Structure 1
């Protein structure tokens, strides 16, 4: 009787564990489905409450769906496991379709005459990043155009002392204003700058310094951007600042634009995709070189720093780099200008 009782108790425990595991996996899958539905919200609704924070984790949710599908196919004790596996597989397929450009590079016709330029964008965390390491990175990576965000006057002094002018002698630095987002945005270049401006467009966020560089007989206008983050207290400003940058879709087509910075948004945010429209391309989403998570620096889980560009430009050799003192990774790329 004792042995029979032990068997019954063990069976009861297994059934309980099976029931709990089934409930947990279905609950997680339900959360993933809801998050994917939030990702489909239009531009004017995707900034509500905690929606931007949830949507920013979308690639990880796709990976989680793949794990759940494997569990459902291999563990027989899971209830309704075929239905769970099928639903998780559908979630994975949708996620792959959404992020296809991270897997396969977008088609881009090759021109006979092209120029390349090495670029980098970096949020310096209110200017506390290591200035000497920034200069070393510029030298080692042969950076020709650098966009930085949250720059303080102290960091500018440290960069000058570190010899940044030996590599990037031209720059645009706006005046600090009340609406700057942790510091000013700056733009450095190894090439002479034309038509410089401290603020490219009217924006309710940090000013966008911009300048034109002549490359391969073509004028390319670079800008350093940093819209507000989508914290609950300023999500309205998040939408407004991204929508302001979206105005550039209608600007002069005779110049190619390259905007670099901490956009505080991922490819999965409708507001970011609206900003791109049918004119701009996100380097990360089109290069076919995988995800390049940039925030937070210690364990990056979101790709919120971007290099976006106009037609006739394409990006390769994307990479991230840790620079001490910042909570962001720097994002680097080689741009080809046709």
Structure 2
């Protein structure tokens, strides 16, 4: 009886999260925090389904089975590539995003990443003026000579490719457009507020992106620290404006990007994926990878995209 009661209590967590996800109740509420761990609730549901089978408890097993099916519906697509192949001869664009943790990331390590990964466009978040100067001293201008870093913001874009048009004020974050073999591609460096500080402010940042997106997503790349997973309602609404998540498109599965090397969580591995590269229908994902950088609490994400025009 005690084992049954314990399983029932444990099942309440995944059950509540499933209901919250179904109805989008995490949008601007404290539910945004536990929602970040939804994949782990899926794992717990599977374990509890096994426990219910061992205990021969049909009602518990039935509830656990429903939760497992829901979780599979949400998570399995992230492990299945969508099958879209890049057109032969399509020009490639290599992009990267790195949260520089209040400007503390090793500038040499970041410049080395840009060089080794042959990055065309780099988005940085939590970029201070002093950190920008340190990147210049480390040689970032030699690799990515053009930039967009609006005054008073902590996000910036660096690019190897000449900027073909000015920033679009409709986007709430730093943005620019580059020419990729005759095709304009607009890039937006995203850094939303974190939900632990203010869930309404966090949701509003994603809402503003979604509001700006209609009519602008086809040749757009939004990359950065979204402070949201693909299970969060505001993030799903943003993707639904005509964007694709590079990891999901390639069927890369779950690749957590935070925290890593965080002074407040020593020894804790990355557990949630909040850094993303989203792109519009004029581009196709070719490859994606994650990279740890000294003194950053996020893993950098590198993606290669084919520009279909």
TM-score w.r.t. the length of structure 1 is 0.83
Q: Name stretches of at least 5 consecutive residues in structure 1 with no aligned partner.
A: 1-18
Judged with a 3 Å threshold, the aligned counterparts in structure 2 of structure 1 residues 143 and 301 are, in CA distance, closer, same or farther, namely: same
For 1:50, the equivalent position in structure 2 comes to: 30
For 1:209, the equivalent position in structure 2 comes to: 174
Q: Is the 8 A contact 1:267 1:285 kept in 2?
A: no
For 2:118, the equivalent position in structure 1 comes to: 142
For 1:165, the equivalent position in structure 2 comes to: 141
Q: Is the 8 A contact 1:40 1:270 kept in 2?
A: no
Judged with a 3 Å threshold, the aligned counterparts in structure 2 of structure 1 residues 30 and 147 are, in CA distance, closer, same or farther, namely: same
Query: Is 2:265 the counterpart of 1:300?
Result: no
Provide Cα deviations, 1:42-99, integer angstroms capped at 9, x if missing partner: 3xx42344210111111111111112223333x4xx3x53433333232222112112
CA distance in 2, matches of 1:90, 1:286: 26
What SS is found at the alignment partner of 1:147?
A: strand
Q: What are the within-5 Å matches in structure 2 for residues 1-338 of structure 1?
A: 19-42=1-24, 45-73=25-53, 75=54, 78=55, 80-108=56-84, 110-176=86-152, 180=153, 184-197=154-167, 200-201=169-170, 203=172, 208-231=173-196, 233-252=197-216, 256-297=219-260, 298-338=268-308
CA distance in 1, matches of 2:194, 2:253: 24
C-alpha RMSD over aligned residues: 1.9
Structure 1 or 2, whichever has the larger Rg, is 1
Provide Cα deviations, 1:109-164, integer angstroms capped at 9, x if missing partner: 65344111221111111111111110111111111111110101111111111111
CA displacement at 1:217 relative to structure 2: 2.4
CA distance in 2, matches of 1:110, 1:133: 31
Judged with a 3 Å threshold, the aligned counterparts in structure 2 of structure 1 residues 37 and 117 are, in CA distance, closer, same or farther, namely: same
TM-score w.r.t. the length of structure 2 is 0.91
Which one is further off, 234-243 or 105-114?
105-114
Q: Name stretches of at least 5 consecutive residues in structure 2 with no aligned partner.
A: 261-267
Q: Is the 8 A contact 1:264 1:304 kept in 2?
A: yes
